[in-house]
Amino acid sequence: MFKHFYLYIKTFPLKNYTQFRTMYNLIITSSCATKIKEYSINTNTNFRLRISVNSGGCSGFQYKFNMDQSKLLLNDIIVKKYGIEVVTDDISYEYIKNSTIDYDNGMMRSAFIVQDNPQSESACGCGSSFAKKSFENNSAMH
């Protein structure tokens, strides 16, 4: 009597730039923006930083940073600040919202990093992977 319906999700390039969703609760530091601008100037290309979260790493999830110039997709979420753009997909966004995106130019490494991630309960020593908080077990969330 009841029919089963299956939803197939496909990502499509945006037809116009006004369709993207904006991230309001992601903090971009000036050093992050400066590095993106430097990279764009040095390569004479207008890049944006794309952040994704994938399973893997020593803590369960890992951050991936790419300099990107491809077209935005329907599931992309974007933040513009300091004249640069940072993009992530809607699933990765759930893992990094309310975090700070920075560029660390230290003695041991120079890289984009995610700091103060409220979705993370622990991170590996190098900071490139993290374990997601279990909000179901947090009595303060009930």
DSSP assignment of 99-121, as one string?
-EEEEEE-SS-EEEEEES-TTEE
Mean pLDDT, to the nearest integer, of 7-35? 66
Q: Is the pLDDT of residue 48 over 90?
A: yes
Return d(Cα 124, Cα 34) in angstroms, integer. 26
pLDDT tens per residue across span 83-142: 999 999 999 999 899 999 999 998 888 999 998 888 776 555 555 656 676 645 443 333
Domain boundaries, the chain: 17-133
DSSP category for residue 40: H
Q: CA-CA distances (angstroms) from residue 142 to 67, 72, 133, 136? A: 39, 36, 15, 8
Q: What angle do CA 138, 58, 11 make, to 5 degrees?
A: 80
pLDDT tens per residue across span 64-75: 999 999 998 888
Architecture of the domain spanning 17-133: Sandwich (2.60)
